[in-house]
Chains A and B, each alone.
Chain A
Amino acid sequence: MDYTVAALKTFLIFFVVINIVPLLIWLERKGAAYIQDRRGPNRAAIFGVRLGGLIHSLNDVVKLLFKEDIIPSHVNKPLFILAPMIAMFVATITMAVIPFGDPVVIGSHAPFLLQVADLNVGLLYVFAVSSLGVYGVMLAGWAANNKYALLGGLRSAAQMVSYEVSMGLSVVGIFLMAGSLRLSDIVNQQGANLFHWNIFLQPVAFFIFLAALFAETNRLPFDLPEGESELVAGFHVEYSSMKFALFFMAEYAHIIVGSCIIATLFFGGWNIPFVSSEWIKMNADLVLKILWMGLGLFSVVGGSLLCRRFKKQRYGDLRDFEPLVFGVPGVLTGFGLLGLFAIFGNKVFLPEWGPSVLLAAIQIGVFLAKVLFFCFFFIWVRWTLPRFRYDQLMKLGWKIMLPLALANILVTAWVALVN
């Protein structure tokens, strides 16, 4: 029974995280568009409903699945096929130790963990597994038997291993303060006080970790492995169809998992600033009412804003009615919620398990909000900063970040000793 529950939970968490990938691809394209002052994807539609271009991500999956899967004659075939699988596999299994909330305790049952596995080696597992990702990139570059791919793979391998050292060193200060590698311990140690979050206690570590994470995921300021203008696409030039998509998905999955790790290590994980979990549990009824009212008001305001757009924009086709499709139900739901609140608001009492479940839901929501913000941050940086030169990249990694991380450990240890 226990095993069934654990397996189902694993599936569920995997499903949630992997479904952020298409969302993130949409966010990337749309965010890039707005940063560059254009509209971005907005054509694909299902029955005239375009969802602001969200359908494009769905279309991409279908398109990539049906594309011709080219395996060029000059490649090393087993490794060529294995490489994208490694990349995706590594990105998938890294999410295992991320805690999405406090363990839920209902009555006398055993606590239900809101994470795949609560390992005492926590972050060590993340580093151990995520560093395997370099194999995918290197094998892809080597097996493709193409000059661009080889150069991309080489660059990427050198860059990833260089920044891994700084990344590993930057978090030593956090372990020192938490006294544990378990991610839930690190979150609990930060607590609900905003100024006890590691972003304030370990700002240097945060910036080193962030920069190293960008380098590990091969994102823009450090995207030399794929530098379009010099290497076409780097290590995945020869890939097509779903094998290319696997690399693509792996990159985004890495971003999501990386954002989760940042939120956990530096931004208090599931904690809400200045609102402690105990307070929410004690005042569950009040919190539920506030959420209920808030959701109702939000639906009404959002729906009516959408309805106003219906009056403003005239295309003369189905597009005109798109704001109404979401606006009218939004307003109606909002009024419904508010009406129900007015009638039943004071008569609703939570059952015994209510506060725990409500708390878990709030914590998961807060955690996902933080994660999505960092996902957006990745996109924001990508479309804002130019690319490094290779010698600058290596200089930053070895000559600036590595000594800085070492100094950070010394200072943290000294402060911990004196206090």
Chain B
Amino acid sequence: MQAYFPIAVLFGIGIALSGGFVLLSTFIGKKRPTPEKMGPYECGLDPIGSPRQRFSVKFYLIAMLFILFDIEVVFLYPWALVFKDFKAAGLGPLIFGEMVVFLIVLGGGLIYVWKRSALEWE
């Protein structure tokens, strides 16, 4: 627990710094609002339509793929950490073979996504 105390301090510093700067600029800066200033910035033109429009489903897909693949990455970390211990215990081929199977499944998923052209942006 003691190891995490400095991190709590750093969290405090981070919050104080970012919050402090926002507060400072709110109080120090002059406020002279004009209708032009308070409107959306679009290079001087009036915006057409709402900005809350539907966006490409590709972004949604990327987010889902990220969750899938990133979880696989998390599975790989403990494997990498214990690899040497397993090898020292004479179980090297076992742990290597296990991970090859895992990577084949993962690579298969990637190839499937690729072939279904979920990664095409043209």
Q: Are B121 and A395 in contact (CB under 8 A)?
A: yes
Q: Are B22 and A243 in contact (CB under 8 A)?
A: yes
Q: Are B62 and A161 in contact (CB under 8 A)?
A: yes
Q: A116-B10, A165-B66, A169-B76 are in contact. Are A70 and B4 (CB under 8 A)?
A: no
Whether, in the assembled complex, A402 has its beta carbon less than 8 Å from a beta carbon of chain B, the answer is yes
**Whole-angstrom distance between the alpha carbons of A72 and B51 in the complex?**
14
**Whole-angstrom distance between the alpha carbons of A160 and B119 in the complex?**
15
**Whole-angstrom distance between the alpha carbons of A158 and B38 in the complex?**
29
Whether, in the assembled complex, B116 has its beta carbon less than 8 Å from a beta carbon of chain A, the answer is no
Of the residues A18, A93, A146, contact of B40 by C-beta under 8 Å: A146
**Whole-angstrom distance between the alpha carbons of A228 and B74 in the complex?**
36
A interface residues (Cβ-Cβ under 8 A, vs B): 2-3, 6-7, 9-11, 14, 18, 64-70, 72-74, 81, 84-90, 92-93, 95-96, 116-119, 124, 145-150, 154, 157-158, 161-162, 164-165, 168-169, 172-173, 175-176, 179-181, 232, 237-238, 241-243, 245-246, 390-391, 394-395, 398-399, 402-403, 406, 409-410, 413-414, 416-417
- 8 new A-B contacts, CB < 8 A, other than A92-B17, A245-B21, are A68-B31, A93-B10, A118-B3, A164-B66, A394-B121, A399-B119, A409-B80, A409-B103
For this complex, 14 residue pairs linking A to B, each with C-beta atoms less than 8 Å apart, are A10-B9, A11-B13, A14-B13, A74-B38, A88-B14, A89-B14, A89-B15, A93-B7, A119-B4, A238-B40, A394-B121, A409-B103, A413-B96, A417-B96
Give 9 closest A-B pairs by Cβ, nearest first: A242-B25, A92-B14, A391-B121, A161-B66, A168-B73, A175-B80, A88-B18, A85-B18, A176-B80
Q: Which residue of B lies closest to A68 (CB)?
A: B29
Contacts of A118 on B, CB cut-off 8 Å?
Answer: 3
Q: Are B25 and A417 in contact (CB under 8 A)?
A: no
1/0 per position for B69-112, CB-CB distance to A under 8 A? 11001101100111111010000110010011001001100100
Contacts of B81 on A, CB cut-off 8 Å?
Answer: 175, 179-181
User: For chain A, what secondary structure do more than half of its interface residues adopt (helix, strand, loop), or is it mixed?
Assistant: helix
Of the residues B62, B77, B106, contact of A406 by C-beta under 8 Å: B106
Least distance between A177 CB and chain B CB atoms (Å)? 8
Of the residues A87, A232, A416, contact of B43 by C-beta under 8 Å: A232
Q: A146-B42, A179-B83 are in contact. Are A66 and B119 (CB under 8 A)?
A: no
